[in-house]
Structure 1
Amino acid sequence: MNQPETPEQPPSPVRPGRAPVDPERWPDVVRLPSASRPRTAVARLLVGQALRRLPLTVRLAGGGRLGRGGPLLDVHRPEAFHRRIGAGGLVGFGESYMAGEWDAPDLAAALTVLADNAATLVPAGLQHLRRAWALKQPGARRNTPSGARDNISHHYDLSNDLFALFLDETLSYSSAVFEELPATWPALAAAQGRKIDRLLDLARVGEGTRLLEIGTGWGELALRAARRGARVTSLTLSAEQRALALERIAAEGLGDRVEVRLCDYREATGTYDAVVSVEMIEAVGEEFWPVYFRTLDARLAPGGRVALQAITMPHDRLLASRRTYTWIQKYIFPGGLLLSTEAITGTARAHTRLRVTGRDCYGPHYAETLRLWRERFAARAAEADALGFDETFRRMWTFYLAYSEAGFRSGYLDVQQILLEREDG
């Protein structure tokens, strides 16, 4: 006979020194989830087995200690920590951090250990239990034309001022390409320019090029292309980003060379000598990958080139995780899904005349980019608070940046600049 679900509990107690969590803004953080005692017990068992084998130092409140030594992870409320993982797996793990139930002095280092061992955290004989914690994708997050607008707005329309707190003066929100690693903050702006120039060179953008950009950001790529003499049509779904991009374009007197449209990539018209897109394909969603690549093909003039910058993951991990609902999707990028190299080449081949003809990988550079952003964001926490981003948001954002950095440091994630050309030339 199944153990009945435990009733919903009162809000998780606030640790000394932490502000109360806003229950309207963070309902799944302020309250502990309902979870059966067996699920919580199994989570405690699996988490304990995993952590004992890892090069971590895990201190449990009450005196317990796990791990083989390494970056410190302090679990202040073990019962709540295990209960959240029992109810929601990795989503619960992230929410537990947001709730202040665990901390790590070097969060990125601790998460890198977990990312290094992601495929083996659950023993082979118990892999079937992963399905018990795999939350299903909510249908409301599909990247239909209207859904994509909502999903993009959720992240990119938070506040231009928020992003300006931790980005460099180019306002580039994607991996930089540094001359040397480890990187320093003063080198970031030049490294962002280097990344854009490499992509524009890959697409052969120059004087007179008709360029389509899918995903405007805050306009840096469009500006650099226009300075080369290109005529740029840039598409975005973010009203906040478009407004600031237009201000920057006007300030440089390049309004006659750059048009920024508030529209979906599926609504694009015309033909172009080159199409570029920087880390936008991750927001398309598997259901719409064929549509995205067919759009690239349809918009490209004969002899044209497509240059993409894309975050990728191993194909076996994509196949294993593509149907699950992750913490990143719930809190940061709703509707998002990373591709693998095989997914990119296979989708292009199956649905278009486009073929991948070149790839360059920069994973370690993204790890350094994210570290610099994370350190900058931490240093300006008081300014984020003054903008209305409370402590729970700041913990969420810190976890997001560190979690992403860990993915690249471990090699679990990569970032690539990819060239596609038509097979028939």
Structure 2
Amino acid sequence: MPPQVPGTGPSAPAPAVHRADVDAARWPDVARLPSAAPARTAIARRLVGRALDRPALTGPATGARSSAAGPRLTLHDPDAFYRRIGRHGLIGFGESYMAGEWDSDDLAGALTVLAAHADDLVPAPLRRLRGLWVSARPTADRNTRTGARDNIRRHYDLSNDLFATFLDPTLTYSSALFTAFPARFESLAAAQHRKIDRLLDLAGIREGIRLLEIGTGWGELALRAAARGARVTTLTLSVEQAALARERIAAAGLADRVDVQLRDYRDVEGRYDAVISVEMIEAVGVEYWPSYFTALRRALAPGGRIALQAITMGHQQMLHTAATHTFISKYVFPGGLIPSREAIAEHSAAAGLTTATDNGYADHYAETLRLWREQFVAHRAAVTGLGFDPVFQRMWELYLAYSEAGFRARYLDVRQLRLVPAGPDGEDAP
């Protein structure tokens, strides 16, 4: 009997969507089927159909063997499903879900099973044909100064109220650190504070420290650093996040210790005793990683240290993803790319930094995403009230489940690193 995926389970059905009712102006590639490509559709039907025939994916609509175990993936429109995948690969897979052409009673569980066997889906001789299913990333998504502002706006400026429907009261949008799994006896807010406090400790934050934060979020890390007595300069490109972060900081009586700036990391001014950047590198883009690490190094005063939290993937997967327009880059994080540990080591070393500590927490991110997804599902009525239609809701739930599956299958990891200057400017403190 195949094992159940830990931490996942049946959830409320996603809102029903019928392709004919999709707003074509808002979702053009969801509202219409791609042009027919019989040979590619046939290949997709054979390869993906074989993947869906695994014992761990059950249900008569998939053609799989019937079993009480494992998540159920149900195809409502198999022809459209395979046609989209045949034409657009994983983007088509996601758009088919957005169009309501397939569902699962355990979305994260089904995606975890598929992610765990990702390398087995396509036989080695056919991998040379990968170019038939993928397209290059749009040049408009490059993270130039103007492009970075646009890309950040398209995700983080969707609505502060939207993020509040699924984040905990700290409004922290990055992996938490838990004491046990599943997190039944610990609040997400407590686990987020544990993560933040560990980063503050890595960076040596205490009374009088000058801290630069690259990537403000909604201000929780800056608040906790200021409460320790640090003087914080925090940078963001999100107008919505900056406004709410300033409100929260003022309400806490810490406005004299925290300066929230709408500023690109490439335009950092001054030098600081510590720099912290939490899951910001993923939004930088591969061609700008040298600029990012150079900015970190340039901002450090002698003896300073950097605390970095970053999602990572395997190096070969990163190289493939860097050249590919993906479902996530199209609909969720335009211009983004998850680095590998090798890429972080290479680009940080080139900027004159060395890694002092490096720890991974994949299980913690899977648990964080599970809780976010459950809250998002539980607050669908509020999301609808904010003006987000069922297609958006299916897209967002797929994004959260897809990400959770990546961590559960160990396709993704999240690391906390302490970086210090190489050579005489470095320090050896724990």
Q: TM-score normalized by structure 1?
A: 0.93
Residue-by-residue CA offset, 1:96-139 (whole Å, 9 max, x unaligned): 00000000000000000011011121112211122210121100
Which amino acid letter does the alignment assign opposite residue 411 of structure 2?
Y
Which amino acid letter does the alignment assign opposite residue 369 of structure 1?
T
Distance, in Å, in 1 between the alignment partners of 2:357 and 2:328 is: 29
Residue-by-residue CA offset, 1:370-402 (whole Å, 9 max, x unaligned): 000100110110110011011111000100000
Secondary structure of the 1:74 match is strand
Pairwise CA distance, 1:51: 2.7
Q: Which deviates the most, 243-252 or 40-49?
A: 40-49
Map of 1:22 onto structure 2 = 23
Counterparts in 2 of 1:138 and 1:35: CA distance versus 1, 3 Å: farther
Pairwise CA distance, 1:283: 0.4
Which amino acid letter does the alignment assign opposite residue 66 of structure 1?
A
Secondary structure of the 1:316 match is helix
Map of 2:133 onto structure 1 = 133
Distance, in Å, in 2 between the alignment partners of 1:186 and 1:34 is: 50
Map of 2:148 onto structure 1 = 148
Which amino acid letter does the alignment assign opposite residue 36 of structure 1?
A
Distance, in Å, in 1 between the alignment partners of 2:339 and 2:204 is: 25
Secondary structure of the 2:309 match is strand
**Is this contact kept in 1: 2:359–2:415, CA < 8 A?**
yes
Structural mapping, 1:18-417, within 5 Å? 20-53=21-54, 55-60=56-61, 65-66=63-64, 70-184=70-184, 187-349=187-349, 351-417=350-416
Which amino acid letter does the alignment assign opposite residue 85 of structure 2?
I
Counterparts in 2 of 1:263 and 1:54: CA distance versus 1, 3 Å: farther
Counterparts in 2 of 1:127 and 1:245: CA distance versus 1, 3 Å: same
Distance, in Å, in 2 between the alignment partners of 1:203 and 1:379 is: 36
Counterparts in 2 of 1:261 and 1:185: CA distance versus 1, 3 Å: farther
Distance, in Å, in 2 between the alignment partners of 1:77 and 1:185 is: 41
Which amino acid letter does the alignment assign opposite residue 35 of structure 1?
A
**Is this contact kept in 2: 1:211–1:272, CA < 8 A?**
yes
Secondary structure of the 2:165 match is helix
Map of 1:11 onto structure 2 = none
Counterparts in 2 of 1:262 and 1:187: CA distance versus 1, 3 Å: same
**Is this contact kept in 2: 1:51–1:58, CA < 8 A?**
no
Counterparts in 2 of 1:417 and 1:16: CA distance versus 1, 3 Å: closer
Distance, in Å, in 1 between the alignment partners of 2:219 and 2:44 is: 46
Distance, in Å, in 1 between the alignment partners of 2:107 and 2:362 is: 19
Secondary structure of the 1:66 match is coil
Counterparts in 2 of 1:89 and 1:19: CA distance versus 1, 3 Å: closer
**Is this contact kept in 2: 1:185–1:372, CA < 8 A?**
no
Counterparts in 2 of 1:20 and 1:184: CA distance versus 1, 3 Å: farther
Pairwise CA distance, 1:52: 2.9
Which amino acid letter does the alignment assign opposite residue 366 of structure 1?
Y
Secondary structure of the 1:218 match is coil
Which amino acid letter does the alignment assign opposite residue 278 of structure 2?
V
Map of 1:4 onto structure 2 = none
**Is this contact kept in 2: 1:165–1:380, CA < 8 A?**
yes
What value does the CA root-mean-square deviation take over the aligned residues? Answer: 1.6
Query: Identity over aligned residues, as a percent?
Result: 63
**Is this contact kept in 1: 2:321–2:337, CA < 8 A?**
no
Distance, in Å, in 1 between the alignment partners of 2:258 and 2:26 is: 38
**Is this contact kept in 1: 2:60–2:66, CA < 8 A?**
no
Distance, in Å, in 2 between the alignment partners of 1:286 and 1:76 is: 38
Distance, in Å, in 2 between the alignment partners of 1:124 and 1:146 is: 40
Which amino acid letter does the alignment assign opposite residue 44 of structure 2?
A
**Is this contact kept in 2: 1:277–1:309, CA < 8 A?**
yes
Pairwise CA distance, 1:221: 0.3
**Is this contact kept in 1: 2:20–2:31, CA < 8 A?**
no
Distance, in Å, in 2 between the alignment partners of 1:15 and 1:59 is: 20
Which amino acid letter does the alignment assign opposite residue 167 of structure 1?
L
Aligned residues: 408
Pairwise CA distance, 1:43: 1.5
**Is this contact kept in 1: 2:170–2:189, CA < 8 A?**
yes
Pairwise CA distance, 1:36: 1.7
Counterparts in 2 of 1:282 and 1:67: CA distance versus 1, 3 Å: farther
Distance, in Å, in 1 between the alignment partners of 2:368 and 2:159 is: 21
**Is this contact kept in 2: 1:357–1:421, CA < 8 A?**
yes
**Is this contact kept in 2: 1:51–1:67, CA < 8 A?**
no
Secondary structure of the 2:41 match is helix
Distance, in Å, in 2 between the alignment partners of 1:193 and 1:377 is: 21
Pairwise CA distance, 1:314: 1.0
Unaligned runs of 5+ in 2: 1-14
**Is this contact kept in 1: 2:17–2:391, CA < 8 A?**
no
Secondary structure of the 1:57 match is coil
Which amino acid letter does the alignment assign opposite residue 33 of structure 1?
P
Counterparts in 2 of 1:269 and 1:67: CA distance versus 1, 3 Å: farther
**Is this contact kept in 2: 1:55–1:67, CA < 8 A?**
no
Secondary structure of the 2:417 match is strand
Pairwise CA distance, 1:56: 1.2
Which amino acid letter does the alignment assign opposite residue 115 of structure 1?
A
**Is this contact kept in 2: 1:184–1:372, CA < 8 A?**
no
Residue-by-residue CA offset, 1:223-258 (whole Å, 9 max, x unaligned): 000000000000000000000000000001111100
Counterparts in 2 of 1:160 and 1:201: CA distance versus 1, 3 Å: same
